[in-house]
Amino acid sequence: MGENIIPLVDHRYAASVPAVPEVPAPATGLLSDRLGRPLRDLRISVTDRCNFRCSYCMPKEVFDKDYKFLPQASLLSFEEITRAARLFVAHGVQKLRLTGGEPLLRKHIEVLVGMLSTLRTPQGEPLDITLTTNGSLLERKAQALKAAGLARVTVSLDALDDGIFRRMNDVDFPVADVLRGIEAAQRAGLAPIKINMVVKRGTNDHEIVPLARHVRERFGPGVILRFIEYMDVGSTNGWRMDEVLPSAEVVARLGAAFPLEPMDPNDAGETAERWRYRDGGGEIGVISSVTQAFCSDCNRARLSTEGKIFLCLFASRGHDLRALLRGTGPQGAPYSDEEIAGALGLIWRDRDDRYSELRSREMAPVASGERRVEMHYIGG
């Protein structure tokens, strides 16, 4: 291993089996954690594989041809994912986001979308089902995803300039194909479409205004461009604070080109701060994941590709839900929905994660020797 290679600890097995209460409390949809935060959003990673090698997520020197991704048998099946999602919904989840890796690499992903679209909240309402993608396969998949029940899509796009985009995805993939995928999503009615740009100072920050101008002119107000501060997720991306461009500076640059005014959030726990163009040309968002922690109202849980529950994007350990989905109780019978829902309730009620808030106060816990979970494995 060369001196520039960052060793990757295998987080796929750093998890404990959740405790199952002897008498599970019924799910009421009113679950909250130690800080009073409800459970509303479940992010489901359907694959740990991706066809891009972006340096801030899956750098090529780590995720090379010899890297061992999860075998198919380790992944949760569509039936297991749907069952888990149903139990989370019983506890209050209203939104499901499919992510990865690159979720469109999972074969027959539209079948999973169709299964999830049949779920309903305790009040009988349909769920908000969305998907985050790098856009490389979106042109051919958009219509099938919409027909299956997908409501919205978020596309990662870090530069408009083709040369910069190819360097950042590090597999020489052209930006034009992603732009066509966004157009296909528009035609299919996947709306509102969001475009996420991870901003790295000195790498692509000069693309902020050109990308905003292009989105306004090509896609119109139905497409929302969001700018994300470069985050210290995982252990392989070589994150440095001096490469973070604060969202306040992003807004200042955009406001100088296109006058902006602030907007109210759509929902409690929303990660993006919203701004609208004063000329009616749509809106943009900024996600200040480093400079302005939003832990206080975080209502998100994450389910990894092979069934580990993580309660924070910056976690180092998870809870092995797959062990319950595939296992048996003390009497030798498979765990019931009520037992697994009871275990989920215990996990969320004990949650007190607030890594970003502690980091911003310079109170982040000292490393325990375990590396934080990687973005490709848990999703954004």
Examine the pLDDT at 375 and tell me if it is beyond 80: no
Average pLDDT on 322-339 reads 94
Question: Cα–Cα distances in Å, from 94 out to 63, 280, 299?
Answer: 34, 30, 11
Examine the pLDDT at 271 and tell me if it is beyond 70: yes
Q: Report if residue 370 sits inside a domain.
A: yes
Domain of 292 in residue numbering reads as 11-378
Q: Report if residue 6 sits inside a domain.
A: no
Q: Report if residue 3 sits inside a domain.
A: no
Examine the pLDDT at 10 and tell me if it is beyond 50: no
What does pTM read for this prediction?
0.90
The backbone region for 208, taken as left when phi is positive above 0, alpha when psi lies in -120 to 50, beta otherwise, is alpha
Report the distance separating Cα 145 and Cα 99, nearest Å.
14
Q: What percent of the chain has pLDDT over 70?
A: 86
Average pLDDT on 360-370 reads 52
- 281: preceding bond cis by omega (within 30 degrees): no
Q: Report if residue 31 sits inside a domain.
A: yes
pLDDT in tens, 114-127: 999 999 999 999 99
Report the distance separating Cα 204 and Cα 165, nearest Å.
9
Q: Report if residue 4 sits inside a domain.
A: no
Residue 253 maps to which CATH number?
3.20.20.70
Smallest CA-to-CA distance from 358 within 232, 197, 196 is with 232
Q: Return the higher-pLDDT residue of 192 and 374.
A: 192
The answer to whether the Cα torsion of 70, 74, 77, 83 is positive or negative is negative
Q: What percent of the chain has pLDDT over 90?
A: 73
Q: Are 154 and 130 in contact (CB under 8 A)?
A: yes
Q: Report if residue 55 sits inside a domain.
A: yes
**Based on the structure, what is the number of domains in the chain?**
1
16 CA to centre of own chain: 22
Using pLDDT thresholds of 50, 70 and 90, give the confidence band for residue 37. very high
Q: Report if residue 277 sits inside a domain.
A: yes
Q: Report if residue 1 sits inside a domain.
A: no
